[in-house]
Amino acid sequence: MQYEGTITYIGDIETVGQNALQKRTVVLEEITDREFKGGISFDLIKDKVNLIDPFQVGDAVKVSLNFRTNYSENTQRYYTSISAWRIDGVNGGSSNGSTSQDDDLPF
C-alpha cells in the first residue's frame, strides 16, 4: 500500500528486543484540504532505518508500506505493525530529492 503525507515526526534509531533489532518511527499527516486530517505512524526496520535521512519534518513524501499482524498467546491479543520499505519525495516535498529519483535525464 502507498500513502502520501507530510512528515510531522522522525524518531531516533532505537535498538529493541533480544535480537538487537534497529527501528525508527516516523509519523505522516495526510495531505488534504479537509478540516480534520488523518495520519499514520510507521516504523523503519533493520536496513531501512536510514530511508528517511534525505527528508526532514515538513517534507511531503509517498511511502510504500507493509502491514503485518501477529497474535500473542500471552496477552491473547492481535498486534498490527506497519513498516515502510520505500520512501519517495512528492513534488516540492524535499530539497534533497527522493531516494529513487534520477536527475540525469537526457531531456
Residue 107, pLDDT above cutoff 90: no
**CATH code: domain of residue 51:** 2.40.50.140
Question: For residues 2 and 63, what is the distance between their CA atoms, to the nearest angstrom?
Answer: 5
Cα separation, 33 vs 52, whole angstroms: 25
Q: Which of 39, 81, 84, 41 is nearest to 64 (CA)?
A: 84
* pLDDT over 90, % of the chain: 73
Domain assignment of residue 23, given as a range? 2-89
Q: How many domains does the chain have?
A: 1
25, 14, 70, 77: CA torsion to nearest 10 = -90
Which three-class secondary structure state does DSSP give residue 47? helix
The pTM for the full model equals: 0.78
Say if 56 falls within a structural domain: yes
> Is residue 107 a part of any domain in this protein?
no
Domain annotation covers residue 95:
no
Q: Looking at the domain assignment, is residue 47 inside a domain?
A: yes
Is residue 97 a part of any domain in this protein?
no
The per-residue pLDDT for 64 is: 96
**pLDDT over 60 at 102, yes or no:** no
